[in-house]
Amino acid sequence: EEMERIKAKYATKGQVMEAPKLVEAKARDMLRHYVQNVLPNGFKAQVVAVSRRAAIRYYDAFLKARAELVDEVTALPERLAGLADDEMGHLPDRTQFLIRAHRYLGDIRLMEFAVVISGKHNDDVDTTGEWSDRAKVDARIEAFKRPYPSAENSDPQKTSRLGFLLVKSMLLTGFDAPVEQVLYLDRQMKEAELLQAIARVNRPNGERKSAGYVVDYYGVARHLKEALAAYAEEDIEGALQSLKDEIPKLRDRHHRVVSLLESRDADLDDTEACVDVLADEKLRAEFHVLLKSFLMTLDLVLPRSDALPYIKDAKQLADIQIRARNRYRSGERPIGSEVGAKVRKLIDDHIISLGIDPRIPPMAITDADFDKHLETHRSPKAKASEMEHALRYHIRKHLDEDPELFEALSKRLDRILTDLKDRWEELVEALREFSDEVRAGRQEDDTGLDPETQAPFLGVLRQEVGKDGEVSDDDLHKLVEATVGLVEHIQQEIQLVGFWTRAQAQDALRGWIVQYLDDIGILPYDRLPAMADRLLELAKVNHHKLVK
């Protein structure tokens, strides 16, 4: 009797957890954590409440929290709204948060929340069935799984503004939603249920999702060891880690990527020296891997103050990476495309402020503005390097269109670089002259052949017949005549619709080429099939020039 009187006098834990004021305070905190840490990467959230009643109360609490947040962000002074992360370290934490939230104000305004709970007979919690009706529940689950609308995907049938699912027990097992990254826990869990809940946020979703978050409002983490006691240690190793554990990793990964440059006497503030170091392809690949690892960890830790000291170096390193990518035409993606949106925005804003658009490929040597672009490099060494690699890329790109011409140009480039090694100003002038010649392409000569359609075929014949491409005048006259007939027949054959998808048609043309060259008698018969293959490949690469 005494125990019953005590129970009646004091609230139960369930009543406390359902208290509207407490639910409102938690919803406000959850929404702010979400906006700052998860929304920038475009992922979604799930809240696990202590009861069905609490889940419904969370819905009203989130609507109120969203309205309050929108009002606060809207009231932010305009002079503060555009500040970057590393420009607001002197401001109070609350102001810093509002500045970050301002970047996503439109998304916050339109964000939706939904309760998903099971129904009961004579339900006194969900009296209208709004949140437990099976059809509505299924529709909301499917909507939640779709990504937020974006510039790349705004189709309302394939996207959804539903960002939060509010549950009690549903969707904690067997629910596969890679778009979910954070789980807010507000009730006790143990053993299988806890592991299943953690697994919800760890579903892979491309390179952008490097981890899932579990934010504990109940105290589950304090009892994690007991909750997982039913499992073998190796089965649960690493199931749940503190975000604080990422800070030493951030420090270590920063040191690794910076040391790769500094150990080779390249100071991080000397961008050109760092780009020079990355001329080595293997070193450039290693740098890319280390930088990606550092930036992904930085994205996890941001916007915690522990991450702020690393922002400046992150910007500089990303600048070095994209300049090296552009200089050496290596083709890898800009590093920002492989990391989270928080870091990607930092990088993109910085790179664009330097006059570089990471989405635009490196400038070609044939571009009308290449010479103007060259003047943005201050030192003759940098200019020479830019021209060298632009020329190499151009030669590599067009080699298959005219092997004889571009192999000769490649050898000429190597000779120029060797003869004028370390004489940077002379090298710049020599490469300028050579660039003009490369831009001009193959010119008409004494053979009278068309430089675009016929001369490349003569070049291949000359390479095969002559020693080092040199042939006698009589052989050259014979090869020129052979080229005219060869190209004329090839042009007729490849006009057939879908020629390059028809193996039989290609085999027939290959056979004709072998017979044609055999009749002329320019090579031993056993070398003709390989020659025919080369000529057929040349025709395929130059199809757009041969068929007009």
- Is the sign of the CA dihedral 250, 251, 257, 258 positive or negative? positive
Residue 94 neighbours by CB distance under 10 Å? 10
Residue 376 neighbours by CB distance under 10 Å? 11
Closest CA to 218 of 60, 61, 13: 13
Return the half-sphere exposure (C-beta side, CA atoms, 13 A cut-off) of residue 181.
Answer: 22
> Residue-wise pLDDT tens for the chain (548 aa)?
877 777 666 655 666 778 889 999 999 999 999 999 899 889 999 999 988 899 999 999 999 999 999 999 999 998 898 888 778 878 888 999 999 999 999 999 999 999 999 877 677 778 787 888 889 999 999 999 999 998 888 888 899 999 999 998 876 655 778 899 999 999 887 767 777 777 777 777 665 677 888 898 887 766 666 666 666 666 666 666 777 888 899 999 999 999 999 999 888 888 889 999 898 889 989 999 999 999 988 888 887 878 888 888 988 998 888 888 888 887 666 666 677 777 777 777 766 666 666 666 677 888 888 888 888 888 888 888 888 888 988 998 899 999 999 999 999 999 999 899 889 899 989 999 999 989 888 999 888 999 999 999 999 999 888 776 677 888 888 899 999 999 999 999 999 889 999 999 999 999 999 999 999 888 889 999 999 999 999 999 999 999 87
Q: What are phi and psi of 92, to 5 degrees?
A: -60, 155
What does the DSSP 8-state code read for residue 295? Answer: H
| Non-local CB neighbours of 245 within 8 Å, separated by 6+ positions | none
- Is the sign of the CA dihedral 89, 91, 93, 98 positive or negative? negative
Say how far apart CA 478 and CA 483 lie, in whole Å. 9
Polymer length in residues for the chain: 548
CB 399 within 8 A of CB 407: yes
End-to-end CA distance of the chain: 100
- Helices first, then strands: H and E counts in the chain: 25, 5
